[in-house]
Amino acid sequence: GAVVSQHPSWVICKSGTSVKIECRSLDFQATTMFWYRQFPKQSLMLMATSNEGSKATYEQGVEKDKFLINHASLTLSTLTVTSAHPEDSSFYICSARDSHRGFLSGNTIYFGEGSWLTVV
């Protein structure tokens, strides 16, 4: 099946610094990618929808200036957590939608392995 890779798998950063997480679709093109955040024992919360070549659409309550999303190519989207604070510590997960497949031909949305962010 299609593969979505996230990097880094885990990162520890100091409070006040910024950290970037990459999401790559390895064998398909993804016009649309999605970013989620998940706290322990909770469900995934959609943060934003990233569209290649345009601005991301953020969900209500998500600060777009704090969580910068860039989707400059059909295979890469990045999430930058700016001025990170301990409350930003979480599991961040991306998913990508295969641009060339319709649902009738099978699954089209693939998830990355997730990235653990710990802010100290």
- The smaller minimum CB distance to other proteins, of residues 75 and 115, is found at 115
Q: Under the rule (CB under 8 A), what is the footprint of other proteins?
A: 1, 4, 6, 31-32, 34, 36, 43-46, 49, 91, 93, 95, 102-103, 107, 109-114, 116
**CB-facing half-sphere around the CA of 25: CA atoms within 13 A:** 27
Q: Which is nearer to other proteins, 43 or 86 (CB)?
A: 43
Give 34 or 67: the residue with its C-beta nearer to other proteins.
34
User: What amino acid is encoded at 92 in this protein?
Assistant: Y
Q: Is 41 exposed, middle or buried (0-12, 13-18, 19+ CB in 10 A)?
A: exposed
Backbone angles phi, psi at 81, to 5 degrees: -90, 110
Q: How far is the CB of 10 from other proteins (least distance, A)?
A: 9
